[in-house]
Amino acid sequence: MGIRRYEGRPDELLQAMLLIRHYEERTAALQAESGVPGTCTAVGQEAAAVGVVSALDEHDLILTNHRSAGHLLARGADPGRMLAEVMGRRGGYCGGKSGSLHISAKELGVVLTSTIVGGELALATGVGLSQKMLRRQGVVVCFFGDGAACEGRFHESLNLAAVWQLPILYVCENNQWQAFVHRRETMVNDSIAAFAAPHGIDSAAVDGNDVMAVRAVATEALDAIRVSGRPFLLETRTYRLRGHFEPDDQSYVDPAELASWRQRDPLPRLQARMLESGQVTAAGLTDMDADARRQIDTAVAFAVDSPFPDADALLTDVYA
Amino acid sequence: MGIRRYEGRPDELLQAMLLIRHYEERTAALQAESGVPGTCTAVGQEAAAVGVVSALDEHDLILTNHRSAGHLLARGADPGRMLAEVMGRRGGYCGGKSGSLHISAKELGVVLTSTIVGGELALATGVGLSQKMLRRQGVVVCFFGDGAACEGRFHESLNLAAVWQLPILYVCENNQWQAFVHRRETMVNDSIAAFAAPHGIDSAAVDGNDVMAVRAVATEALDAIRVSGRPFLLETRTYRLRGHFEPDDQSYVDPAELASWRQRDPLPRLQARMLESGQVTAAGLTDMDADARRQIDTAVAFAVDSPFPDADALLTDVYA
Amino acid sequence: MAHMTVQEAIDQALQEEMARDPSVILMGEGVATKRRHLVDAFGEERVRNTPLAEGIIAGTAVGAAATGLRPVIDLLFAPFLTLAMDELVNSAGKLRYLSGGQFSFPLVVIAMTGAGWCVGAQHNHNVEAWFAHAPGLKVVMPSCIDDFKGLLKAAIRDDNPVLFFVDIGLVYSTADLSEDLPDMSVGQAAVRRSGEDVTLISYAKTGGVCEQAAQSLASQGISAEVVDLRTLSPLDEKTIVASVRKTGRAVIVHEASRSCGVGAEVAAILAEHAHGALRAPVVRIAGPDVPAPASYPLEQAFVPQVDAVVGAARRLMG
Amino acid sequence: MAHMTVQEAIDQALQEEMARDPSVILMGEGVATKRRHLVDAFGEERVRNTPLAEGIIAGTAVGAAATGLRPVIDLLFAPFLTLAMDELVNSAGKLRYLSGGQFSFPLVVIAMTGAGWCVGAQHNHNVEAWFAHAPGLKVVMPSCIDDFKGLLKAAIRDDNPVLFFVDIGLVYSTADLSEDLPDMSVGQAAVRRSGEDVTLISYAKTGGVCEQAAQSLASQGISAEVVDLRTLSPLDEKTIVASVRKTGRAVIVHEASRSCGVGAEVAAILAEHAHGALRAPVVRIAGPDVPAPASYPLEQAFVPQVDAVVGAARRLMG
Ligand SMILES: Cc1ncc(C[n+]2csc(CCOP(=O)(O)OP(=O)(O)O)c2C)c(N)n1
Ligand SMILES: Cc1ncc(C[n+]2csc(CCOP(=O)(O)OP(=O)(O)O)c2C)c(N)n1
Ligand SMILES: [Mg+2]
Ligand SMILES: [Mg+2]
């Protein structure tokens, strides 16, 4: 499976979002039922991931973090190899050495994933510098959370990208939570996009649960970067509907807040819109859902069948 | 010598500025002539230091950095003990262990000086937290450079101070240089004060070579902090007239820029204003200058007479 | 005696010290969420969730420690300490000295580390030796539930900055916590088992490995002494040297990578101060010089196993 | 042979490698100011002043290294590495492994360290052992002008991240640089002087201390072999062990603090692999476990001196 290309049709976007949703819920279920290692799921954030990734072209590069499944799957990653990686199997994207937290897939342009919060922000400028100095096409897209925006590296990265005019699309997925701390406890203002201006960077904030809106603003931002060579900060405002890391009973989450964001779940929202506008039938939706589910069934089968790495893998891939 | 109190009269401020100027030039001369260790001088920045420090009361605490002589002397530090410290003598404020780069003087409320650029920004929030939780009077004043504003800690510090409402006056001495790099090479915009707003902090920028203006805005900011308990960011715009660290031939400095800032030297500026308004006579100015020079002569004599620490000092003061 | 997890024993230590001394505060990403009962007991002022920024958490602790508070900070996983190294090493470790003794820094940094959760090298990296190589700091890494409680209390009472490492493999293990725990102090190793033929020296999770190895060796007629370092800096040289002077053989075991690890320091001390008594080469059984993999069997292979310790001890016996 | 400073030899290495390989770039706070001639030769794109932020400088280097460039970064003084530990340790050192070998990180970090300028512990702190204790990284610390040039070139050509430490005490020392310097590679120690009775093992500035000590010992009838480690990670165990197997005695010398320093690793290797040959205890002469003071006489007292090395060697001879 290679890099996935999108024309931008709602059904394509929905298909990608369904695949992510089923993948995430299955990993959570596997964790609960079979002791598969826990993961940071991005249930509820599918529109933010698919909206941005669907706007990329094949030269663009992605840096992501611990909550990466949506970005990878939207980019065309094989859910079987993803799950194999989660399970520490040889067939995973990183041969099982990464596990779920730092999955890179160079073949998809998903490079240098770091589970150090803010880690991808520190590396993105270097990837941007390579793109620029080696005269390569392709914008660098760096996904990070609202928590990462509390790390000083966020500012150091924006500043350097501005000074050196690096082609980077910074995407802050503001999902209101930073592990077990609410975003409100960590910053006075509500806007992360607002940090861009003093660094001399343009920015936008968008409803991150509206995939068409995200895609539209991401497309605009990417076009601007392709022309100017300058960075841009996009904030997608969304919500983490499941816990931080499976298992997580979310007992610390205000039920009213959770309920209000469930109302804004990006999947039903897109489905309703498609139904309303006649872009899909109810039966069509059922089919799409079943199809995504089947893909995940296949993925689970692949992952479970994939052997663990040989013991000597412990000592390989340290030095080039 | 204890904490120096100011009523705010121009002659007081001038006196403090002259003491600093002579101290700095003498350390530079001693370095050139006698191989005394080099220092980071703040010649040209005296107004920024004296303007802020003269606005403090005796409960306020200061954190400073490698370019600290102005802050310490304005606060009432004994230039003899300062010079002794520079020379690594027992009579120095830190017994000679610090040298010039991290001089603290707890008795003056000058705490936790760090020569790690941005180091004082990371510590200031803790000092502010102690002030707040232990219900102590006194604002925490944290001096740092425009270079330190490039370190992510600057933002982490502002953000935490805002969220926790800590009584901190952040003072960025924007002297246009960061060692051998011009500030323009390190940031796109010209305003460091502008970084405050997205963190939810009030700020101001002031001509840092006008001591009365600095004092006025610092007083206002301190008053606001005493009432609100909230942090404030003050940017003093000034210039480093000598090099980064003695000796430094400044060959990398644009002569036109240097000349234009020499025109704005805060000492002649204050002196001219005092003469004009009849607050001082030419003879009075000469006397003040001679007096400051004499104080530095005394200081040098003290420092030179102070013995080096005993060898066993190598192993003391490591653990409490 | 109460049966509980190490996590709960840590909680007790925090609870007791916060009750005893109002200047003790707790800060970190999620401490107020995860230790809600401490918020209930001591209020939101003293138990603080922080923004996600390890550097400023540590810096705040250092600044507060110098000016009257006794902060305990939870930096979650040891690899995140990389973001706070300046504050811990350059400030907490050095500013007492550089200021000629004007300040002291009573603070504790808690961090988890080690294999057990298949989370990979960015969460699992045993860097305790870095801090043993940094002046002005102390380093504690307990192996048993009593020490988790007793040494955390001691660390909080210590007037110096203490790094308190919690082995991930032990966090949710349960054991009986002694009532009437004696006051402990940082800096003392413990002889867990007395023996004549060989000394097994370790800390943290591998303490258990060594105790099992000693049992196995006993059944094979080899009498192993087991020394638990407990504090890695300052090291209790006296106890280490005395034991090996007695047994004449040493196997040093830890999970951290071999090169320049704490085991190197212990081996060096023995080469310097027990040379005459050493009847065989010193042996180190340590993690390899590679990052920790996530994959379960690889993660297991990273960690010193009982068999390897037993084998090494047997070889030393010739 | 040209007489020059170490600084100039470093310049030559940069100049030659940048000329040879267009993907080599240089970044740091002031590199374009202080090495203006490199800007003139290679342009502002390849020689870049940076904002004052070590973390992002290092992160940028790591990201660029993984995607086609070969960055050399100057982080000025070793204590400032504390602000870049995440990027160096968690990213450069681990992401090759964690990604299953998808990326490599050809980059060099230059930093000065050590006594000589009376600047105190926030500029002078020998932390090379930290990086020897971090997987995936290499560490080089030369003692002589040929190695400063040759090993920097080797480091730049190495496909892995290399920490290149420059001893402050050597930066402005002058010496003759060999013409026709052979290609070097990272990882090999050098026997600087052959001897029979005792091996003096060191690196960086203390290499000179050991050579002087060896001369002094020779005049007292003691034949000392001098081993210069040159690369601290990976360590050239073979050369170390072979030398001590021959001489039967070892004095290990470095300026870095003793506990968990590189000397501990060397001593441990000897205790493990040269036990049978050791005719006396291993001795370490190292900096004390304290921060480096600024005051001149104290700074001098921190550094291992020739007399101490001579004295130790004589004591070992019994
Ligand atoms: C430097 C660092 N600190 C702490 C953690 C532990 N941690 C993992 S994810 C997370 C929350 C991150 O919040 P955010 O950046 O908003 O991303 P989200 O998880 O919400 O997607 C934390 C604290 C970490 N991995 N790295
Ligand atoms: C973390 C760190 N990086 C680099 C240095 C070296 N250095 C000392 S002062 C300085 C420039 C600081 O610039 P700025 O913050 O503007 O303060 P100024 O010297 O202009 O007062 C530099 C790069 C340092 N001491 N600490
Ligand atoms: Mg978040
Ligand atoms: Mg400046």
Domain ranges of chain D: 2-177, 190-316
Neighbors of chain C with 3 or more C-beta pairs under 8 Å: A, B, D
Tell me if D92 sits within 8 A of D62, measured CB to CB: yes
Kind of pairing between the strands at D24-28 and C224-228 = unpaired
Q: Is the CB–ligand 2 distance for residue B114 below 6 Å?
A: no
Q: Is C254 a catalytic residue?
A: no
Please give the number of the atom of ligand 1 that sits closest to the Cα of A115.
25
Tell me if B200 is assigned to some domain: yes
Residues with CB under 5 A from ligand 4 (ion): B 145-147, 175, 177
For residue C115, is pLDDT > 90?
yes
Question: Is C57 exposed, middle or buried (CB count within 10 Å of its CB: 0-12, 13-18, 19+)?
Answer: buried
**Which of B100, B114, B178 most suits a substitution to test ligand 2, by most atoms within 8 Å of the C-beta?**
B178
Give the H/E segment covering residue A310: none
For residue D86, what is the nearest residue in chain C, using CA coordinates?
Answer: C82
Q: Is the CB–ligand 2 distance for residue B148 below 6 Å?
A: yes
Give chain A positions within 8 Å (CB) of C56: 152
Distance from the first to the final alpha carbon of chain C = 43
Average pLDDT (A156-183) is 98
**Residue among D29, D296, D298 minimizing CB distance to B179:** D29
Cα separation values, C19 from A131, B300, C25, C33, C174, Å? 56, 52, 10, 19, 25
For residue B169, is pLDDT > 80?
yes
**Residue among A163, A187, A194 minimizing CB distance to B159:** A187
- Is B130 within 8 Å of chain C by CB? yes
The catalytic residues of D are 54, 123
Tell me if C275 sits within 8 A of D282, measured CB to CB: yes
How many CA within 13 A on the CB side of residue A139? 30
Instruction: Provide the pLDDT for residue A72.
Output: 98
| In the block, residue with structure tokens 């002043």 | D49
Directed axis angle between helix A282-305 and helix A266-276, to 10°? 140
Tell me if A315 is assigned to some domain: no
Question: Does the beta-carbon distance from B187 to A194 stay under 8 Å?
Answer: no
Residues with CB under 5 A from ligand 3 (ion): A 145-147, 175, 177-178
Average pLDDT (A177-183) is 98
Q: Which two tokens stand for residue A118?
A: 């803010």
Instruction: Provide the pLDDT for residue C89.
Output: 98
pTM (2 decimals)?
0.98
| Alpha carbon A5 to its chain's center | 16
Diameter over CA atoms, chain C: 61
Instruction: Provide the pLDDT for residue D318.
Output: 85
Pairwise CA distance, residues C33 & A179, whole Å: 10
Average pLDDT (D1-18) is 96
- Is A320 within 8 Å of chain D by CB? yes
C2-177 and C190-316 in the same fold: yes
For residue B94, is pLDDT > 80?
yes
Which residues 217-246 on chain B approach chain D with CB closer than 8 angstroms? none
Count how many pairs of residues, chain B against chain D, have C-beta atoms within 8 Å: 113
Average pLDDT (B221-227) is 98
Q: Which residue in C298, C300, C305 has the most chain A C-beta atoms within 10 A of its own C-beta, making it the best mutation to test that interface?
A: C298
CA angle A297, A303, A308 (to 5 degrees): 165
Q: Is the CB–ligand 2 distance for residue D301 below 6 Å?
A: no
Instruction: Provide the pLDDT for residue C1.
Output: 73
Positive or negative CA dihedral for D10, D165, D116, D38? positive
- Is B59 within 8 Å of chain C by CB? no
Pairwise CA distance, residues D141 & C271, whole Å: 25
Tell me if A313 is assigned to some domain: no
Instruction: Provide the pLDDT for residue D1.
Output: 73
Q: Is the CB–ligand 1 distance for residue A120 below 6 Å?
A: no
Give chain B positions within 8 Å (CB) of D291: 318
Tell me if B1 is assigned to some domain: no
For residue B1, is pLDDT > 80?
no
Question: Does the beta-carbon distance from A134 to D68 stay under 8 Å?
Answer: yes
Tell me if A213 is assigned to some domain: yes
User: pLDDT tens digit string along B147-163?
Assistant: 999 999 999 999 999 99
Question: Does the beta-carbon distance from A147 to C33 stay under 8 Å?
Answer: no
Q: How many residues are present in chain D? A: 318
Pairwise CA distance, residues C193 & C238, whole Å: 17
Question: Does the beta-carbon distance from C121 to D127 stay under 8 Å?
Answer: no
CA angle C254, C259, C262 (to 5 degrees): 45
Pairwise CA distance, residues A117 & A40, whole Å: 13
Cα separation values, A122 from A61, B157, B192, D53, Å? 15, 19, 22, 11
Q: What is the ipTM of this complex?
A: 0.98
Average pLDDT (B11-32) is 97
Give chain D positions within 8 Å (CB) of C89: 79, 82, 125
Q: Is the CB–ligand 2 distance for residue D58 below 6 Å?
A: no
User: pLDDT tens digit string along D187-234?
Assistant: 999 999 999 999 999 999 999 999 999 999 999 999 999 999 999 999
User: pLDDT tens digit string along B272-283?
Assistant: 999 999 999 999
Please give the mean pLDDT across all residues of chain A. 97
Neighbors of chain D with 3 or more C-beta pairs under 8 Å: A, B, C
Quickly count: other Cβ atoms within 10 Å of residue A40's Cβ.
23
Q: How many residues are present in chain A? A: 320
Average pLDDT (C6-27) is 98
From the CA of A148, which ligand is nearest? 1
Question: Does the beta-carbon distance from C67 to B156 stay under 8 Å?
Answer: no
| CATH class name, domain D190-316 | alpha beta
Share of chain D above pLDDT 70, in %: 100
CA angle A61, A65, A68 (to 5 degrees): 80
User: pLDDT tens digit string along B42-72?
Assistant: 999 999 999 999 999 999 999 999 999 999 9
Q: How far is B220 from chain A (nearest CA, A)?
A: 23
Share of chain A above pLDDT 90, in %: 99
Amino acid at D290: V
User: Residue B96 sits in which domain range?
Assistant: 10-301
Q: Whose CA is nearest to atom 3 of ligand 2?
A: B117
Please give the number of the atom of ligand 1 that sits closest to the Cα of A146.
16
Q: Is the CB–ligand 1 distance for residue A266 below 6 Å?
A: no
Asked: is D2-177 a CATH 3.10.20.30 domain? The reply is no
Give the H/E segment covering residue A191: none
- Is A186 within 8 Å of chain B by CB? yes
Share of chain B above pLDDT 90, in %: 99
Tell me if D13 sits within 8 A of D74, measured CB to CB: no
Question: Residue A31 — φ and ψ, nearest 5°?
Answer: -60, -50
Q: How far is B46 from chain A (nearest CA, A)?
A: 28
Please give the mean pLDDT across all residues of chain D. 98
- Is A283 within 8 Å of chain C by CB? no
Q: Is the CB–ligand 1 distance for residue A23 below 6 Å?
A: no
Domain count, chain B: 1
Instruction: Provide the pLDDT for residue C318.
Output: 85
- Is A311 within 8 Å of chain C by CB? yes
Tell me if B4 is assigned to some domain: no
Instruction: Provide the pLDDT for residue B162.
Output: 98
Give which of A136, A140, A138, A12 is closest to A76, Cα–Cα: A12
For residue C61, what is the nearest residue in chain B, using CA coordinates?
Answer: B126
Q: Is the CB–ligand 1 distance for residue A70 below 6 Å?
A: no
Pairwise CA distance, residues B114 & B129, whole Å: 19
User: pLDDT tens digit string along D23-77?
Assistant: 999 999 999 999 999 999 999 999 999 999 999 999 999 999 999 999 999 999 9
CATH number of the domain that A30 lies in? 3.40.50.970
Pairwise CA distance, residues C317 & C198, whole Å: 8
Give chain B positions within 8 Å (CB) of A159: 150, 186-188
Pairwise CA distance, residues A68 & A80, whole Å: 15
* b/e B271-308 (16+ beta carbons within 10 angstroms → b): bebbeeeeebeeeebeebbeebbebbeebbebbeebee
Tell me if A320 is assigned to some domain: no
Tell me if B154 is assigned to some domain: yes
